[in-house]
Structure 1
């Protein structure tokens, strides 16, 4: 699919390894150096006290308490316990959290629903999620046959189909048309200013649902340019003049206000046969991401779609990541990362420099945002596979591996920083690793 430069860095933590970590108790460990005299530390060593997630959304601990080790105290006043259960690492933070990091989690369930005859839409932008300055999103649902009316945006539109099938249509600036049916797990992308429409087909009686991402954190779907809204605000004689129509009743049924989403008959089977004397668009606005074979890893899998395979998508790149139980992904990106959890549970600790770090918990339907260069990991904390999207405001997918960085740095420098011994350094991967297993002594 692509070179190993783009492969995922996953760490699989076995149950035995986790148990061994817990058996260490709360003591601080001093590194053992096998090939050099033990250095005199300039600061105390970091704690090795376990900081596991204390409970989960389905925990039997119906009344969680904000205790971590010997720190904390019970809540005496009113409290929203279901939210505490969903966010254990905010309610009882790991001892490694420190300082201040902007809120990096937004649940779509907290977004306002715009209900329409034929479907609904809800959005996330900087108005409710201020940290996400470079990307915004809309979750949209269409009943079978329902139409998201002909429209265009001043920014690009990227989409990932969650459920059902959707027919997309458009015409570019040279009069070339495009019609395609997009299925679950597939993508579409329309550059700024390209008019297009979206309609749920009748392949599923439930219609379709899709995730739209826009490379502008302040984007609002309420500011979309809609065909009906436009023509309702143009004098009728001007409309007739534009189309060369003299019949005064020809355009008498234009809606008085925007339709946005509205019910209709499902698209006809011959819709894709619309002929165009100018031809079709040279770069398809659709990519069959669902048909791409994932790169299988010991701890999960990854699929990547950016402009190297989806030519027209010059503003958005994506990785669809699956992490098995106990696995994790550890890295930092060179662009802002907008994350959407498709299934499972996860926690992410974000390091924002100058000793600032904070841990967040995620469930399906939650959005995360990690600013460019912020170090972080994504850990599967659930009992099933974690599946999520990493979306970037970029034409290329890029990452930097912590493992590879240390492996390609002179060993003496790594030892001076972290006190690692020769055996540990020898296990670091000079080629971007796909899997780093737990130490053999904990297997």
Structure 2
């Protein structure tokens, strides 16, 4: 799988790292997109009756978005902190590194999850592989049982996705509030305009987040994500729906421009200037993950407000009187309306 540019690759077209009749797992990490740093992404599809076996990440907190279906998630963390909850479309869950968890499709339709991990090369262990590493005698001693009690256990390699035997068991407590669960699409959008909106899964709204966050960004045909950069935050986006064009300026002065379509993943390192504009008439929906719990940015619109017109004029070689009347902008608006038609692609 080759990247179309240093910043972009397709997760939808990625060869699965695991596949069976019960579902599949696709992944993009630094081995296929070398520019990635501190972030990577997986797409998991579970067919009805399938579950992701209990496992835990070695080196990465995890943030997951349910794109479709209904899943049961159970986690066990430090100090025997156990929780179990149901995740529906538009909701998210968080699992801390080292906590063992499982994901189970309890609905009638396939379930799709988009999962960001806080490491460019995440690693994990599974409960199955851990049992395989131990003798029957050791397992018996662990559970106060004879070694023969484990003679029937499957010692083949872990399958990652397996089929449930019998009906799903959904604990009665799954409806209780849970710190690891967040209804991002149910949130009243903190940013909403007639040309787009942003739902924000960040620490301000979700206290469980420590080093990762996500914006569910929708921009219509008449809107645009303005030119900006994140001083201390890397950005990894997934195209959930629609198409867009993106431009990124690299420190060597080169410009990388590419078109994004459904299933694409892009990555912008910290402090790289970039912008996004829609291409289709239906706009786009991006899931944008950050390597900070509360991402910040600086925009070109705000930057012009921060300096005198004399400084801006000298910078661009324009007489002060010939400068446009820039709008006073004390903080970045995240997105702006489109007054002008789309430019032709610079790399066309």
TM-score tier after normalising by the smaller chain length: 0.7 to 0.9
Q: Which has the higher Rg, Structure 1 or Structure 2?
A: 1
- Given the alignment of the two structures, is residue 228 of structure 1 paired with residue 128 of structure 2, yes or no? yes
- What is the CA–CA distance in structure 2 between the aligned matches of 1:438 and 1:367, rounded to whole Å? 24
Contact 1:145 1:199 in 2 (8 A): yes
1:238, 1:252 → 2: CA distance? 12
Q: What residue number does 1:51 align with?
A: none
The answer to whether structure 1 residue 286 and structure 2 residue 181 are counterparts is yes
Residue in structure 2 matched with residue 382 of structure 1 by the alignment: 280
**Greater strand share, 1 or 2?**
2
Which residue does 2:199 correspond to in 1? 303
Query: Which structure has the higher relative contact order (CA within 8 Å, separation 6+)?
Result: 1
**Which residue number in structure 1 is paired with residue 346 of structure 2?**
none
Alignment of 1:233-382 (within 5 A): 233-246=133-146, 248-257=147-156, 258-264=158-164, 265-269=166-170, 271-273=171-173, 284-294=179-189, 295-330=191-226, 331-334=228-231, 335-382=233-280
Aligned pair in 2 of structure 1 residues 424, 208: CA closer, same or farther (>3 Å)? same
**CA RMSD between the two structures:** 2.4
CA separation of 1:436/1:316 partners in 2, compared to 1, >3 Å: closer, same or farther? closer
TM-score (ref. length: structure 1): 0.70
Q: What 5-or-longer segments of structure 2 have no aligned partner?
A: 341-348
Aligned counterparts of 1:306 and 1:235: Cα–Cα separation in 2: 44
8 Å contact from structure 1 (residues 228, 254) kept in 2 = no
Tell me the equivalent position of 2:295: 397
Structure 1 contact 304–397 (Cα < 8 Å) conserved: no
* Cα distance, 1:437–1:121 mapped onto 2, change above 3 Å: closer
Distance of aligned partners of 1:301 and 1:417 in 2 relative to their CA distance in 1, 3 Å threshold:
same
The 8 Å contact of residues 117 and 262 in structure 1, kept in 2 or not, is answered as no
Residue pairs, 1:7-406, within 5 angstroms = 103-113=6-16, 114-154=18-58, 155-202=60-107, 205-219=108-122, 223-246=123-146, 248-257=147-156, 258-264=158-164, 265-269=166-170, 271-273=171-173, 284-294=179-189, 295-330=191-226, 331-334=228-231, 335-406=233-304
The DSSP-based 3-state class of the residue aligned with 1:342 is strand
Label 1:349 to 1:178 Cα distance change in 2 as closer, same or farther (>3 A).
Answer: same
- Give the direction of change, closer, same or farther, for the CA distance of 1:233–1:414 in structure 2 (3 Å limit): same
Instruction: Measure the CA separation in 2 of the matches of 1:438 and 1:348.
Output: 15
| Closer/same/farther in 2, CA of residues 361 and 438 from structure 1, 3 Å limit | closer
DSSP-derived class of the 2:12 partner? helix
Aligned partners of 2:224 and 2:338 also within 8 Å: no
- Aligned CA distance change for structure 1 residues 310 and 325 (closer, same or farther; 3 Å): same
Please state how far the C-alpha of 1:174 moved relative to its aligned partner. 0.9
**Stretches (4+) displaced over 6 A:** none
Q: Return the match for 1:407 from 305, 320, 331.
A: 305
Does the residue aligned with 1:389 lie in a helix, a strand or coil? Answer: strand
- Pick closer, same or farther for the CA change 1:144–1:387 going to 2, 3 Å: same
1:405 Cα deviation from its structure 2 partner: 1.4
Query: Quick check: 412-421 or 117-126, which moved more?
Result: 412-421
Residue range with higher mean Cα deviation, 295-304 or 235-244: 295-304
CA distances 1:284-309 after superposition (whole Å, capped 9, x unpaired): 21111121112311321111111222
Q: CA deviation at 1:421?
A: 4.4
Q: Deviations over 1:188-240 (max 9, x none)?
A: 111111111110112xx223110111111122xxx421111111221101101
**Cα distance in 2 for residues equivalent to 1:435 and 1:210:** 27
Tell me which moved more, 314-323 or 415-424. Answer: 415-424
Instruction: Measure the CA separation in 2 of the matches of 1:378 and 1:421.
Output: 31
How many correspondences in the alignment?
Answer: 329
